[in-house]
Structure 1
């Protein structure tokens, strides 16, 4: 009973606001406000408000909402695990199968294809570093890291 009264009052207030808005010649906004303000009365007339009011005070309904929340949490957790692992089990198997089949073709690729885009080692400063072009690239990377660590006293 009280829910129906509240819904009617909200609708009446909304229609009043819509009338004031239409008086200010903002007809588009007034029609939208009127549409929103008719929703509570429509819900009362269809019986939804009575059903919600009856459901809100039943402990079994609250237990049902808790179970829905738990189910949603489980779905979210499994989705997060799938993302961390790289997809579902079926997708991981397909990727592993493709990697096994593609491993023979990958060996046939040119060794230069996997080299960094910067070129040979020591080419950053125009080759004036004094290192030979045949020095491994990883040595240069580690020396840069060591210099940074020494700079910060680590």
Structure 2
């Protein structure tokens, strides 16, 4: 009962504002305001307001909204993890197969994945150049 009264008051106020806009010869704005102001009364007349009021005070409805939220969180999480991993299971399998084929250089006698000595670069001295790490990052990004 209160919701219907509030919706009617909002519609009446909106129609009053539309009349003022039309009086100022802003007919397009007046028509738009009138259209928006008729929506609350239309919702009351169709029964949407009663349905929303019944839903707002129903624990079952809130449990359903909670489950919808949980399913959305799970979906978003799985999509984010899939993007970080690089796609679908088929794409990851193909990438692993390609990495296995490229692990050994064509003319190498041993795999190139950590068998040789000196595979780590020598640590740069701190006193020589303080900006060497920044330069490396910039070069990596092509800047």
Report matched runs for 1:118-129 at 5 Å.
Answer: none
* 1:90 corresponding residue in structure 2: 90
Establish whether residue 148 from structure 1 lines up as the match of residue 137 from structure 2.
Answer: no
State the Cα RMSD in Å.
2.9
How many residues matched? 115
Report matched runs for 1:24-35 at 5 Å.
Answer: 24-35=24-35
CA separation in 2, counterparts of 1:34 and 1:73?
A: 39
SS at structure 1 position matched to 2:130? helix
Structure number, greater radius of gyration = 1
The gaps in structure 2 that reach 5 residues or longer are 107-120, 133-143
Task: State the 4+ residue runs in structure 1 displaced beyond 2 angstroms.
Answer: 90-97
Q: CA deviation at 1:29?
A: 1.3
SS at structure 1 position matched to 2:87? coil
The gaps in structure 1 that reach 5 residues or longer are 108-137
CA separation in 2, counterparts of 1:10 and 1:39?
A: 10
Query: Could you tell me the TM-score, scaled by structure 2's length?
Result: 0.67
Establish whether residue 72 from structure 1 lines up as the match of residue 54 from structure 2.
Answer: no
* 1:21 corresponding residue in structure 2: 21
Query: Could you tell me the TM-score, scaled by structure 1's length?
Result: 0.63
